[in-house]
Structures are given as structure tokens and as C-alpha cells.
Amino acid sequence: MKRTIVAINDPAMIQEIKSLLALVDYQGLAFTGNGMEALRLLHRFEPDLMIIGRNLSGLNSSDLLQTLLSLHLCPTMVVLDADEHTLLAQVVKAGPHQVVFYPLRAVDFGAAVLLAEERFKQERESADRVRHLEDELKARKLIYQALLRLIQALGWDEEKAYTLLRSEAMAQRRSIRSLALDIIKGNWFPDA
């Protein structure tokens, strides 16, 4: 069973959410109306989902939402009261993984939880891809800097310099990136 923390300051809303959690295979770890307490609980329990509402004491809802989204530890779902519909654009702009309106319907709540989980998963995968591409770009920059040093020092063309770099990396059983870094640092340079 997955775990959630609910940070809502409305007892009726909390009761309704409690009754719906089992339907989506979630267990309520903690229920609080205080934003600071919600953050403390988040770090203590590391839940699979955070559900937050408006009008929290301690840390206000907007600040709590921004903190949760910047930490990127779990999906975040915002529950708004029906009379708070004017805040929808503002809340959506903040970027929660899902927004639902109270009173809740079981089908809508279940769909909202699934969508929040999926959006969070996609964000994580995208962040991992970006990190991988950034690492790859750094490696290419290092390799081209090393190639430039070889070309300038030895008067070779790019193809010959790259062939040497690749074959030397294979001979030393190292990555081309690590050998390129040694060339840039001056720790290794081929004999002319």
C-alpha cells in the first residue's frame, strides 16, 4: 500500500479524503493543517504522494507547494474547495502534479491520483534525460578541447588526433573522456 501525507485545514475535507484513500491503494500516514508540520512529516516519512489544501497555518499553501515542487520528492496534488475556483489558474501556474475540487467523487479522485503519479514519473524521467545529455555535452567539450591541444601541439588533423585519443584510451582501458581530461590538465601527452 502506498503512503500519503495530507496537509489540509478542513476536517470535513480530511474525512472525505480518508474514505477515498483506500480506493486508490493509499494509506494516510499523517493529517495536518500546518504547512511546517507537513514539511517535517515529508522528510520523516518520505511519502508516495502529498495532498495539500488552502489556508494552512504555519507555512502557507503557496510556499508549501513551491517547496514541495522544488524538492521533487513525490507527486503533489492540490485540493481546492469549489468556491476557490477563481484560484485555479494561479494554482495551475505554480505547477502541482494535479488539482482537484472538493467535494470529491471517487472516480475523479482515483483518476487525479493516477495522473499525478504519471506526471511526476515523466518529470523524473525528463530530468534524468537532461542530466544525461548535459554530462554527454561536457564530455564532448572535454574531448574537443583535448583534440584542439593535440592538433595545435603536434600539427595533426582532427581525424588523426581523434584516432590517437581513441586508441590510447582503449590501450589504457579508460574512457576517452578521462584521457581527454588528462591531456587538458597536462598529465598525459603523446610523444610526437
Residue 173 sits in a domain whose CATH number is 1.10.10.10
Cis status of the peptide bond prior to 11, with omega within 30 of 0: no
Is the pLDDT reported for residue 43 higher than 90?
yes
Q: Are residues 97 and 179 in the same domain?
A: no
Task: Read off the pLDDT band of 69 (50, 70, 90).
Answer: very high
Task: Read off the pLDDT band of 189 (50, 70, 90).
Answer: confident
Q: What is the pLDDT of residue 66?
A: 95
Residue 138, in any domain of the structure: yes
Query: How many degrees, rounded to 5, is the angle at CA 65 between CA 64 and CA 69?
Result: 115
One-letter identity of residue 48? D
Long-range contacts of 101-106 (CB under 8 A, 24+ apart): 102/10, 102/13, 102/16, 103/16, 104/16, 104/17, 104/20, 104/79, 106/20, 106/23
CA 5 to chain centre: 19
Laid out side by side, the sheet with 2-7 consists of: 26-32, 2-7, 49-52, 76-81, 98-102
Task: Read off the pLDDT band of 96 (50, 70, 90).
Answer: very high
Q: Are residues 11 and 97 in the same domain?
A: yes
Q: What is the pLDDT of residues 140-156, one digit of tens each?
A: 999 999 999 999 999 89
Residue 86: helix, strand or coil by DSSP? helix
Number of structural domains found in the chain: 2
Name residue 34's beta-bridge partners.
Answer: 57
Mean pLDDT calculated for residue range 47-70: 94
Report the chain's terminal Cα–Cα distance, integer Å. 65
Q: Are residues 6 and 100 in the same domain?
A: yes
One-letter identity of residue 129? R
Q: Are residues 94 and 142 in the same domain?
A: no
Q: Are residues 90 and 160 in the same domain?
A: no
Is the pLDDT reported for residue 50 higher than 80?
yes
Whole domain around residue 86: which residue ranges? 2-104
Q: What is the dihedral of CA 87, 91, 92, 97, to 10 degrees?
A: -140
Q: Strand locations in the chain, DSSP E?
A: 2-7, 26-32, 49-52, 76-81, 98-102
Q: Is the pTM of this model over 0.85?
A: no
Q: Are residues 93 and 136 in the same domain?
A: no
Residue 120, in any domain of the structure: no
Task: Read off the pLDDT band of 71 (50, 70, 90).
Answer: very high
